[in-house]
Structure 1
């Protein structure tokens, strides 16, 4: 192993042993953290210090975090004080599973504090939001500590067809903590890496098409892409209100479900979407669906066109084993299913998606920028000009900004754009939605984020869980997807799958 990687491995071992009072913080879950708080073996301040130390040690290698919150320790101290005073000085949980827990936010989720919100671009450096994003307000009410901002594909990978694969101008090139040369995927890259490498127990990402499911899969963590509108998009640097959603990325299904419970709900600043989706939120929250027998009796579809792995490959063998496991757990697996017009759905350049997204992006981004208290740029046109003026920092030669240029050339939502959206709605209705209803499916199962375009155009949810590690040690995941509001079923299935397979292991930092 090269010397730099030996040093990293040694450092990780030191950090893993650096828990307070013997508390094992690496790989700690929300339950173990709260237990530590309650029995006095851990404080929020100690937990924040651990994560800050770990970020300081690992971030030069992994580039998962753009900046940390200078106010995090003060927030943690306040949480400790609340806990001490909550029951006559006894150490008891003051406000639920997230109270006093540090959270990393993807850098397109706005905070009204000392942190920047830049979508990874220098163009927005120094901009000031009028208020916290809706999901951040809910996290703060739950007692969470905002630890910092996670790296991401710049502009959520909507700047150029070339893609950025975990790179942003502000954060640099993020790296997969299992195999450093492997793709970490995006756009919620830093959130997934940070969760995997125990730089935080809880992170938030966003998804328009695959941006939670893909990095969660390739970094061996759990990610939920919620039903459109289940979580507020207010205060999030947008691509399109028709597909954008905010969701948690953690190391276990239990933890992402606790976070989901904290961030769902109506927001007057995203009224139409959150009002429509609020009907899906179950009484009693989502943790009630963490059932070890959650696969029993479920009808699970295996659509054609996704598990295209050659015989003898690790993925082919492991995925077949997982499907057999689901059967043994009582699931009714329905194979050889065809999603109508799948090839068209997966072709974003020709199915109308890029036409719709370009116009929606310009309108949404300009509206976001105009709502900031201060910003060095106020329009997409000014961002384009900024990039042209900073070609080295923004890697203009390597990446370019063709999508920005196309979007800037749009003139609103006209007949062409409405026709494109109508086509996408029809593709969804005649595709997965019809398939699931005809076969009475509770979910479809696909590898990694392969089905994310199918879920994206219909605003439908998905959950990915660790499924295995390839021949070179690169992680891969298994995704459960369903119709709008199917989160309870997906949680039952993904939790049961996780509990019976216990696939996840800690990062290996291989070259």
Structure 2
């Protein structure tokens, strides 16, 4: 970790919001090397000490050298893309050549493949600085039904920068907390069902879960080839759009991406916030919203109307059986897909199939299972994997139910809006996750449709997001609508790193 004295700019960045820090960098035309040094110092001061967010597992040893080379290119007139020189953090289930890829598990602590995942190679070619790897819910939160989001044996518990005792959600917990805290310009998360959208919403970020097949999954520790995808996480719509534009593309090793080159776009360059005017939007009002969340949602709808959107109520069709079918698919694909990945890891990695990981966890239970077990792993191991006779039936059922529901609600509408999630719940090692309120992630995750979350407001100082869900390959439309809403909404309060939500007399009662 960088240990040089804090620069004046770094000290400034410790006392202002991430958005203000980014503007300061732009105003001063800081070099990429200066920005990278500042982000490293901010990580040292706030992630390893200070509020101690535990959001970054490791930083790249050559980060400043990468940035210096990119500065030299810029000085010579070569600017590779709109993200040239951006320091970016990548979730630690995505391979990068200079650091191990652990998925948060001690079983993969020696997983130094020396490879870049194709999505990382695309980012490097576009000129990003690979700043480091972020913490995550171990194994992307597929190990246990009583897990605590944001905890891994390698990285510890990620803390929410808005309230340190609350979840950063998961499984892209570290990316969410780190970008919210201003540890990089933008970050990469991954999602199977909610793992980009939830940590983005709960940490006050913009996050895009793209159409399945827009971004390569090669050399990413898998759960499910039917649902896994990487996506960008950033403090604003334009930055998320710019990052996705360079991440996206076809990969011969990932058949799902065969259409990506033809479908991808320069989303940031084409961004049109005025597209909301006249846009017909379906409004999905979920059950289970608190009064406070409903009030924030209603205010967001008012802003969409004021921006010219035509809002139409929609009802969620019956999707009985979807959850069970999806879970069966995830268990069976996990068993097969993880084994296929582990076979490609170096000899220092001793686990080669899910059964090996289960045995490793049992042998190292004190470190790996101090709070929760591995019942989902064990259930997945009992299946026949993707060769199981029940596999194709379960996948066909889950895909049909999710696709039919979304297509019904999208009929005649450009997109759907709904609250992304409720506000962050307490991190609880005794009971595990105690999430309450709605979730918008399930249907687009199973169907493979794109899903964007944009901060819509706060509930008692905790961020909540507004989801924009569209048809396959409609990323540009979602970004346009999100940018229009972002402009209408205005600025929101920055993280304050409070020990808990300060309710004062409202909680304790009048004296």
Do they fold alike, i.e. is TM over 0.5? Answer: yes
Counterpart contact for 1:55–1:199, Cα < 8 Å:
yes
217-226 vs 409-418, greater mean Cα deviation: 409-418
Question: Paired residues, what number?
Answer: 471
Quick one: structure 1 residues 430 and 26, their matched pair in 2 at CA, closer, same or farther if it must change by over 3 Å?
A: closer
Question: How far off is 1:304 after superposition?
Answer: 4.2
1:110-509 equivalences under 5 Å are 110-113=95-98, 115-129=99-113, 131-270=115-254, 272-282=255-265, 285-306=266-287, 308-310=288-290, 313-335=291-313, 337-342=314-319, 344-345=321-322, 348=323, 350=324, 352-374=325-347, 375-396=349-370, 398-413=371-386, 414-437=388-411, 440-449=412-421, 450-471=439-460, 473-509=461-497
Say if 1:227 and 1:461, in contact at 8 Å, map to a contact too. Answer: yes
Matched residues in 1 for 2:11 and 2:481: separation?
31
Root-mean-square deviation (CA, aligned residues, Å) is: 2.2
TM-score (norm: length of structure 2) = 0.88
Unaligned runs of 5+ in 2: 1-5, 422-438, 500-511
Q: Is the 8 A contact 1:235 1:368 kept in 2?
A: yes
Give per-residue Cα distances to partners, 1:308-342, cap 9 Å, x unaligned: 434xx33222211111221121111011x222224
- Structure 2 CA distance, aligned partners of 1:146 and 1:222? 20
Q: What corresponds to 2:19 in structure 1?
A: 27
Q: Structure 1 pair 130/53, CA: closer, same or farther in 2 (3 Å)? A: closer
| CA shift for structure 1 position 290 | 1.8
Superposed displacement of residue 119, structure 1: 0.4
Q: Displacement of 1:44 after TM fit?
A: 1.8
Counterpart of 1:7?
Answer: none
CA distance in structure 1 between the partners assigned to 2:215 and 2:149 by the alignment = 25
Equivalents in 1 of 2:233, 2:176: separation in Å?
A: 6
- The alpha carbon displacement at 1:163 in A equals 2.0
> Contact 1:217–1:465 (CA<8 Å) still a contact in 2?
yes
Q: What is aligned with 2:93?
A: 108
Q: Could you say what secondary structure the match of 2:19 adopts?
A: coil
| 1:184–1:410 distance in 2 versus 1, CA, 3 Å | same
Q: State the match for 1:5 in structure 2.
A: none
Aligned match of 1:6: none
Alpha carbons of 1:109 and 1:30: their partners in 2 closer, same or farther (altered >3 Å)? farther
Q: Against the structure 1 CA distance between its residues 18 and 420, is the aligned structure 2 distance closer, same or farther, given a 3 Å change threshold? A: closer
Aligned-pair CA distance for 1:196: 0.5
Query: What residue number does 2:430 align with?
Result: none
User: In structure 2, what is the equivalent of residue 90 of structure 1?
Assistant: none
String of CA shifts for 1:358-394, please: whole Å, max 9, x gaps.
Answer: 1101111111111123323222111111111111111
**Counterpart secondary structure, 2:495:** coil
Distance change in 2, residues 1:28/1:200 (3 Å): farther
SS in 2 for 1:227: coil
Paired residue secondary structure (1:294): helix
SS in 2 for 1:287: coil
Structure 1 residue 279, shift from structure 2 partner:
3.7
CA distance in 1 between counterparts of 2:66 and 2:213 reads 29
C-alpha contact (below 8 Å) 1:127/1:376 kept by paired residues: no
**Contact 2:91–2:172 under 8 Å retained in 1:** yes
Pair 1:64 & 2:66 matched: no
Q: Deviations over 1:370-421 (max 9, x none)?
A: 112332322211111111111111125x210111111112223232111111
Q: Which runs of 5+ in 1 are unaligned?
A: 1-10, 88-92
Would you say the 8 A contact 2:285–2:418 is kept in 1?
no
Task: Say whether the 8 Å CA contact 1:466–1:503 is kept in structure 2.
Answer: no
Shift of 1:154: 0.4
**Conservation of the 8 A alpha-carbon contact between 1:45 and 1:73:** yes
Specify the SS of the correspondent of 2:238: helix
Superimposed CA distance per residue, residues 165-221 of structure 1 (whole angstroms, 9 cap, x where no aligned partner): 111111101111011112211000110111110011110000000001000001001
Could you tell me which residue of structure 1 aligns to residue 428 of structure 2? none
